[in-house]
Amino acid sequence: MYSARQKLLTLLARQSFRLGAFKLSSGATSDYYIDCRATTLDAQGARLTGEVFWEEIRRRGWKAQAIGGLTMGADPIVVAASVVSGELHGFLVRKAEKAHGTGQRIEGFREKGAWVVIVDDVCTTGASTVQAIEAAREFGFDVIGVMCLVEREEAKGRTNVEQAAAPAPFVAIFTANEVRKEHVAQGLSRNC
């Protein structure tokens, strides 16, 4: 019987991984692209994402009160993990403060001093993850862990996130190489 982690890897390889020529948000080019939202917004993918993130948080012994990250990549992960856990509150970090209403940058759970885990879908340079960490700390959260669904293992992303997150640890659920290997193993590379 396959674990939730293996099932999620299979879905990511099938639904989110593409080979070809792609321009990344960093401006760099790549021979592959990973659109995690194709998996995290899928009904089964959302459930598996929530299960895998919640299990990793528990396995590490993190006593988080909430989970959150920069909108949009983090949004489905936050909701899925919150729902699956039945314990974690969710919050979203806007890219900039609202220009109207209350002018908040953090939406959802807002308890200063709370222990939180920052999440992201893909980590390339780490810029969006770092932005979420900084905003969470500026608000008054205590960041106890940082997680991404897929780490691309390039452009010093891990180093950038680890430096910003310190002393909180950074965890990647999968690496891009793991997703690529699964994609090839499923015979999907010839369909791209």
- Closest by Cα among 102, 109, 103, 104 to 79: 109
The token duo for 166 is: 């310190």
Which tens digit of pLDDT belongs to each residue from 69-100?
999 999 999 999 999 999 999 999 998 776 66
**69 Cβ neighbours under 8 A, 6+ residues apart:** 75, 77, 78, 92, 93, 118, 119, 120, 128, 129, 132
Q: Do residues 68 and 74 make contact, with C-beta atoms less than 8 angstroms apart?
A: yes
Question: What b/e string do you get for 68-77 counting C-beta neighbours within 10 Å, with b at 16 or more?
Answer: bbbeebbbbb
Which tens digit of pLDDT belongs to each residue from 15-50?
999 999 998 877 888 999 999 999 999 999 999 999
Please give the mean pLDDT across all residues of the chain.
93
Report how far residue 69's alpha carbon sits from residue 133's, in angstroms, rounded to the nearest whole number.
8
C-beta neighbour count of 24 within 10 angstroms: 15
Q: Do residues 78 and 68 make contact, with C-beta atoms less than 8 angstroms apart?
A: yes
Report how far residue 130's alpha carbon sits from residue 126's, in angstroms, rounded to the nearest whole number.
6
Q: What is the pLDDT of residue 192?
A: 42
Report how far residue 76's alpha carbon sits from residue 71's, in angstroms, rounded to the nearest whole number.
9
Q: What is the pLDDT of residue 191?
A: 44
Provide the number of structural domains found in the chain: 1
Q: Is 4 exposed, middle or buried (0-12, 13-18, 19+ CB in 10 A)?
A: middle
Report how far residue 110's alpha carbon sits from residue 8's, in angstroms, rounded to the nearest whole number.
30
Q: What is the pLDDT of residue 187?
A: 85
Question: In the predicted model, is pLDDT for residue 104 greater than 80?
Answer: yes
pTM for the model stands at 0.93
Q: What is the pLDDT of residue 188?
A: 79
Q: Can you give the residue range of the structural domain that contains 40?
A: 4-191
CATH number of the domain within which 89 lies = 3.40.50.2020
